[in-house]
C-alpha cells in the first residue's frame, strides 16, 4: 500500500500537537526542572508549521509567504528542542543558537519561496538546515553522564542522529532527481518515505524527552530521600549505603577507609543562649566549611543532632588526621555576626581507619566515636586519632558503654 504524503502530514501535525499538550501537562508536575516548556512549544510549532504546509500547497496568492511561515515555525521548533535540552542540562547562553536557526530558515525560505521561487532548492536547503539543528540536539545529548540519565540521553540523542540521516538522505535524493520534477506532492518515494520515517522518529524523540524527565524526577526524589533537609549533607541511611559500597570496593582493592566523627562543642549552650535558628545556622556553616575541606569523593553525613560523620575512601588515618586538623582550624576561624556580638564556635573530631578498627561500618563508627569522646575529655577543639588511644576493640566497647554521650556537646 502506497504512502500518501497528505495523510502523513496531517498525522504528524496532529501527533506533534498531542505531544505538545502531553509535555505541557508533564511540565506542570516537573517542579523546578527546566526545558519542558520549550519542548511543549516546539511541538506546537511543528504542528502549526506542517498545517501551513498542508493547507497552502498550490501556487496561489500568499502561497510563498505561507511556505516561509511554515518552514520558519518548523525551524523554530527545532531551535526550541535544542534550547529545551540545554535548559534541562542547566546550561546557559543557548538562545543565540535558537535565534540564528530561525533567522537562517526565514531568510532562506524568503529567497527560494518569494523572491526567487525554486521548490527543489528550498527543499534541499531546508533539509540541510534542519539536519544541522538536529545534529546540534544529538551532540548536546550524546555525552558522558551518570546513569540512569545516560540511557535517556543517549536514546534521545540517537533519535536526533537518525533524523539527521533522514534529512541528509532527503536532500541527496532531491539533488539527484531530474530538474523540475520535484515538488512536495510529486509522485516520488523521497517525500512519503522521509516524512513517514521522520514521524516515527519524532515519536521516539518525544518518548525520550519524557524518559529524561522521568529519570530526573526519580533522581530528585532519590536526592531528597538521601539528604538532610537542614544542612544538605547526606543523612544517616545514605551514609550506611555508601559504607556498604566502600566495603565492596575494599574487598576488590584492599585500599584503606578512614572515618571522622565530628561534633560541635557546647552546642546545647549555643541553642539555649542564642536560639535554635542560630544553632541551625551553625550546623549549616559547619557543613559548608566541611565540604570545602574534603575531597569530592569523600562522603559527609549528618549522623545525629550536631554530630557529623565523614567517610574518606582510600585514605589512611594519618592523611585523615591532616584533613581533620584543617577542617577544625577552618571552622574555628569562622564567625557568625549577630546583632550586637559575634559568635565563635569550635568542633572536636575523632579519626579512625580500617587498619585499626576493621572494615565493619559499626566498628569504624565506634572507634571514631571513642576518639571523639577522648577529644571532648581533653578539652574540646581538638583532633584525636583512635590509634593514639592504644585501645583494643573490647575496651572500646566498654568505654562506649560507660561513657556519657558525646551528643551532650
Task: Check: CB of residue 322 under 8 Å from CB of residue 293.
Answer: no
CA-to-CA distance for 65 and 53, rounded, in angstroms? 11
Residues near 88 by beta carbon (within 8 Å), at least 6 away in sequence = 33, 34, 35, 36, 212, 216
> Which residue, chain included where needed, has cell 542564642?
274
CA-to-CA distance for 66 and 60, rounded, in angstroms? 10
- Supply φ then ψ for residue 262, to 5 degrees: -130, 150
Compute the radius of gyration of the chain from its Cα atoms.
31
HSE on the CB side for 67, CA within 13 Å?
25
CA-to-CA distance for 258 and 340, rounded, in angstroms? 41
Catalytic residue among 241, 255, 281, 306: 306
CA-to-CA distance for 45 and 144, rounded, in angstroms? 30
Cα separation values, 167 from 10, 35, 49, 193, 278, Å: 19, 25, 17, 11, 61
Task: Check: CB of residue 312 under 8 Å from CB of residue 346.
Answer: no
CA-to-CA distance for 334 and 237, rounded, in angstroms? 29
Residues near 306 by beta carbon (within 8 Å), at least 6 away in sequence = 263, 264, 267, 279, 282, 283, 407, 409
Name the pairing type of β-strands 347-353 and 257-264: antiparallel
**306 flagged as catalytic:** yes
* SS3 per residue for 255-324: CCEEEEEEEECCHHHHHHHHCHHHHHHHHHHHHHHHHHHCCCCCEEEEEECCEEEEEEECCCHHHHHHHH
Listed residue (46, 77, 81) closest to 209, CA to CA:
81
Separation of CA 165 from chain center: 28
Residues linked to residue 342 through DSSP beta bridges, in sequence order: 337
**Active-site residue list:** 306
Amino acid at each position: 500500500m502506497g504512502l500518501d504524503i497528505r495523510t502523513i502530514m496531517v498525522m504528524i501535525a496532529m501527533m506533534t500537537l498531542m505531544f505538545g499538550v502531553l509535555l505541557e501537562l508533564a511540565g506542570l508536575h516537573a517542579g523546578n526542572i527546566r526545558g519542558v516548556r520549550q519542548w511543549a512549544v516546539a511541538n506546537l510549532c511543528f504542528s502549526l508549521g506542517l498545517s501551513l504546509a498542508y493547507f497552502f500547497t498550490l501556487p496561489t496568492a500568499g502561497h510563498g509567504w505561507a511556505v516561509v511561515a511554515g518552514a520558519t515555525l518548523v525551524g523554530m521548533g527545532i531551535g526550541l528542542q535544542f534550547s529545551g535540552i540545554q535548559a534541562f542540562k542547566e546550561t546557559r547562553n543557548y538562545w543565540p543558537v535558537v535565534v540564528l536557526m530561525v533567522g537562517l530558515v526565514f531568510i532562506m525560505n524568503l529567497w527560494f519561496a518569494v523572491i526567487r521561487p525554486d521548490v527543489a532548492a528550498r527543499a534541499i536547503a531546508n533539509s540541510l538546515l534542519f539536519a544541522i539543528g538536529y545534529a546540534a540536539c544529538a551532540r548536546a545529548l550524546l555525552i558522558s553522564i551518570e546513569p540512569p540519565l545516560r540511557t535517556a540521553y543517549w536514546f534521545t540523542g540517537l533519535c536526533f542522529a537518525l533524523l539527521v540521516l533522514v534529512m541528509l538522505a532527503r536532500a541527496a535524493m532531491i539533488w539527484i532527481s531530474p530538474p523540475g520534477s520535484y515538488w512536495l506532492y510529486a509522485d516520488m518515494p523521497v517525500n512519503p518515505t522521509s516524512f513517514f520515517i521522520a514521524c516515527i522518529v519524532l515519536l521516539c524523540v518525544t518518548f525520550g524527552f519524557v524518559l529524561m524527565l522521568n529519570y530526573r524526577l526519580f533522581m530528585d526524589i532519590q536526592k531528597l530521600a538521601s539528604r538532610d533537609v537542614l544542612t544538605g549533607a547526606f543523612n544517616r541511611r545514605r551514609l550506611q549505603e555508601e559504607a556498604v559500597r566502600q566495603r565492596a570496593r575494599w574487598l576488590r582493592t584492599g585500599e584503606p577507609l578512614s572515618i571522622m566523627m565530628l561534633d560541635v562543642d557546647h552546642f546545647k549552650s549555643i541553642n539555649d543562649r542564642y536560639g535554635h535558628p542560630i544553632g541551625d545556622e551553625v550546623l549549616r556553616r559547619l557543613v559548608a566549611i566541611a565540604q570545602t575541606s574534603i575531597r569530592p569523593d569523600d562522603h559527609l553525613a549528618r549522623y545525629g543532632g550536631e554530630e557529623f560523620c565523614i567517610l574518606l575512601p582510600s585514605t589512611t588515618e594519618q592523611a585523615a588526621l591532616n584533613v581533620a586538623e584543617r577542617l577544625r582550624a577552618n571552622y574555628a576561624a569562622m564567625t557568625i555576626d549577630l546583632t550586637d556580638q559575634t559568635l565563635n564556635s569550635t568542633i572536636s573530631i575523632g579519626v579512625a581507619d580500617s587498619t585499626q578498627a576493621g572494615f565493619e561500618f559499626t566498628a569504624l563508627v565506634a572507634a571514631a566515636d571513642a576518639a571523639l569522646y577522648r577529644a571532648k575529655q581533653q578539652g574540646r577543639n581538638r583532633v584525636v586519632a583512635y590509634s593514639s588511644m592504644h585501645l583494643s576493640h573490647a575496651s572500646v566497647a566498654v568505654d562506649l558503654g560507660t561513657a556519657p554521650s558525646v551528643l551532650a556537646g
